[in-house]
Structure 1
Amino acid sequence: MLVYIQMRWNHEGRISLDELWEVEAQEAEHAQETIDSGMVVGIWKVAAQKRVIAVLDVESPDDLDRTALGRLPMREYLEFEAVWPLRDYQGFAADVRKRYKV
């Protein structure tokens, strides 16, 4: 299941900038591991913003939840602004041609 995720850093008044960089360094290592495993299709830092977007390929909503709430080093400092499951357009187009009839 492909999922688009938009996250914002929510750290102000919670940790120092030095502490943030330490946690973000751990997050960078974790991100590379998930890229290598194929779970992360792509990940981008939005320039000039405290925001990261990613496209993930997860097995299930359960796996997404476990990753977002349990595995991410930055989980305490990320606000998930958007979590959108993505559907392949070709599958959608096939359903349209059938008018969503079986």
Structure 2
Amino acid sequence: MLFYVQMRWNHEGRISLDELWEIEREEAEHAQETLDSGFAVGLWKVAGQKRVIGIIDAPNAEELDRTALGRLPMREYLEFEQVWALRDYLGFAEDVKKAYKV
């Protein structure tokens, strides 16, 4: 199941920039692993903002939740602003053609 996730760094007043960069180095390694495994389809850092956007291919919402809350090195400092389940457009188009009838 594909998910759009939008995260914002929420570290101000909680850790120093040096500490942030150390955790972000761990996060970068984790990001590479998730991309290599196919769990993350793509990850993007928004230019000029403390924000990251990803397309995640998780088996279900529970697995996405486990990753977001338990596996990410930055989990304490990421605010998930948006999480949207994505549906394949062509599957939707087929349902439209059938007027949503079986």
The TM-score, its normalising length taken from structure 1, stands at 0.99
Query: Is residue 73 of structure 1 aligned with residue 73 of structure 2?
Result: yes
Task: Give me the whole-angstrom Cα distance separating, in 2, the residues matched to 1:44 and 1:51.
Answer: 9
Paired amino acid for 2:92: F
* Count of residue pairs the alignment pairs up: 102
After the TM superposition, list the runs of 4 or more consecutive aligned residues in structure 1 that deviate by more than 6 angstroms: none
Cα RMSD (Å) of the superposition? 0.4
Partner Cα separation in structure 2 for residue 62 and residue 49 of structure 1: 28
Query: Which blocks of at least 5 consecutive residues in structure 1 are unaligned?
Result: none
Deviation at 1:76, TM superposition (A): 0.3
The residue aligned with 1:46 is 46
SS in 2 for 1:29: helix
Render the CA deviation track for 1:15-65: whole Å, top value 9, x for unaligned: 000000000000000000000000010000000000000001001111000
2:3 aligns with 3
TM-score by length of 2: 0.99
Q: Alpha-carbon deviation of 1:2?
A: 0.4
